[in-house]
Amino acid sequence: MQAITRKLGHQSFKHSSFKSLHPLSDDHYYGYVNPRFASNIATGGTGPLVRKGTGGRSSVSGIVATVFGATGFLGRYLVQQLAKMGSQVLVPFRGSEDSPRHLKLMGDLGQIVPMKYDPRDENSVKAVMAKANVVINLIGREYETRNYSFEEVNHHMAEQLAMIAKEHGGIMRFIQVSCLGASPASSSRMLRAKAAGEEAVTRELPEATIMRPAVMIGTEDRILNPWAFFAKKYGFLPLIGGGSTKIQPVFVADVAAAIVSSLKDNGTSMGKVYELGGPDVYTMHELAELMFDMIREWPRYVNVPFPIAKAISSPREFLLNKVPAPMPVPTIFNLDAIQALATDNIVSKDALTFKDLELAPHKVKGYPIEFLIQYRKGGPNYGSTVSERVSPESYP
C-alpha cells in the first residue's frame, strides 16, 4: 500500500483539502506542461484531469471513479450516467463475475472496468481505488446476514473507504450515499448505522458530499416490486400500521443524476448533505394505490398493526445467527424496515435538495412506475386504452 501511496500521493488530505474537479480547462491540465499527463488513459489519482471531446460517451470527462456498490440498484443508473459523460468507471465487485457484467455494456471498450475485491481486505480496497480520482460509496444493505451486520456494511465499510481515500491523497471527490432519515436517534438500526457512517466519513473527509436518497423507485426497486409480486400471488397487500406512514419516493435515475451533478459543479456541493426526495409525499397506502392502478388489480389490503408485523418478521432475526444456513431475504416483513416505519420519512424543511443541484426530480406517478406493467395478468396492455398509456415524450 505504501508503494501505492508513494506513487499517487503527491499531496495528502492532512495538508490539503479536496480540489474541485472543475474548472478543468486550465492549461496545465492538458499535459503540455507535463507531458506525462498528455495521455487520456487514466494515470493516477492525483494526475491532472484530462478532458477531451464534446462530453458524450466517447469523450473523456477526466473523472476516473471507483463506484463501490455499483452492482446494486442505484449503481446500474449511476454507472450508465457516468459512462455517458465519458468517465472511466472502476467497478469493484465481490462474488460472481456475472454481477458487474450488465455494466460493461454501458461504456466504450475499457471504459467500465470490473475489479474483483474483498471489502474486508484493506489492500484489495486500496488496489481498486489506486487509479481513481473520485470515490462513490453506494454500499449498503437493509437487512442483516449471518456474515454482515448493519454496522459493518453501513458504517464500518464507509469509514474504511473514507480512511483509504484520505490516505490515497489523490481523491478529489468522495460521495457517500446514505439514507433519508439516517439519524442516531432513529428506531431503525440500519438508519442509525447509516448516520454513524456519515459521521465517520465527514470526520475523515470533511469535504465529502453526503447524499440521502428517500426510498428509490425504478425497474429493480425493492418496494413496488415485492408489493406487486405479493398482490398478484396472494390477491391482497399487507398494509403495515395501516399504511399511514408518509414517505417521499424518488426515481432512481434522479438520484444518479444528483450524484453526477454534484461531481460536475464547482465544488459547491463539497462538504454538504443533500436530501433527495421525489416531488410528492405519499402515505404508504397512497403509494400502494398507485401500484394497484398500474398492475390493474383491484386494491385489496389487510391491515397489519405494527406489533403483529414485528411478530411476523422477528423469527428471521432471532434465527439469523442460530441456524447454520443462510436465512431468506426479507422483503415486506423486514423487522428493521418495519421499525423505521414508525415515523414519517420525508425531506426536512431546511435541507439541501435536488433544487440546489439544479435538478427537478420526476414525479413518481408516470414513467418511473411504468415497469409495473409487467405484473399485469393480461400483458402490458391489459385493461388499458391508448390514451391511458404513458407517452414516450415524458420519458427522461
Ligand X SMILES: NC(=O)c1ccc[n+]([C@@H]2O[C@H](COP(=O)([O-])OP(=O)(O)OC[C@H]3O[C@@H](n4cnc5c(N)ncnc54)[C@H](OP(=O)(O)O)[C@@H]3O)[C@@H](O)[C@H]2O)c1
Binding site for ligand X (CB under 6 A): 69, 71-75, 94-95, 99, 119, 138-141, 148, 153, 177, 179, 213, 215-216, 222
SS3 state of residue 348: coil
Distance CA 301, CA 288 (A): 9
Among residues 35 and 95, whose Cβ is nearest to ligand X? 95
CA distance 170 to 349: 35
Q: Looking at beta carbons only, is 49 or 337 nearer to ligand X? A: 337
Looking from the CA of 57 toward its CB, the CA atoms found within 13 Å total 14
Whose Cβ is closer to ligand X: residue 36's or residue 101's? 101
Instruction: Please report how close the Cβ of residue 211 comes to ligand X at its closest, in angstroms.
Output: 8
Q: Which helix (H) or strand (E) holds 176?
A: strand 173-177
Concatenating the DSSP letter of every residue in 253-301 gives HHHHHHHHHHHHSSSTTTT-EEEE--S--EEHHHHHHHHHHHHT----E
Torsion angles phi and psi, residue 70, rounded to 5: -70, -20
CB of 166 to ligand X, least distance (A): 20
The minimum distance between CB 194 and ligand X, in angstroms, equals: 7
Based on CB atoms, which residue is closest to ligand X, 151 or 236? 151
Nearer to ligand X, 180 or 294 (CB): 180
What is the DSSP annotation of 18-87? Answer: ---S----SGGGGSSSSGGGGS-S---TTSPP--BSSSSTTSB-S-EEEEETTTSHHHHHHHHHHHHTT-
Return the number of the residue (75 or 238) whose C-beta is nearest ligand X.
75
Q: Which residue number has the CB closest to ligand X?
A: 72
d(CA 29, CA 381) in angstroms, rounded, equals 53
Q: Give the residue with the Cβ less far from ligand X, 40 or 331.
A: 331
Report which DSSP code applies to 169: S
Query: Cα(114)–Cα(395) distance, rounded to whole angstroms?
Result: 30
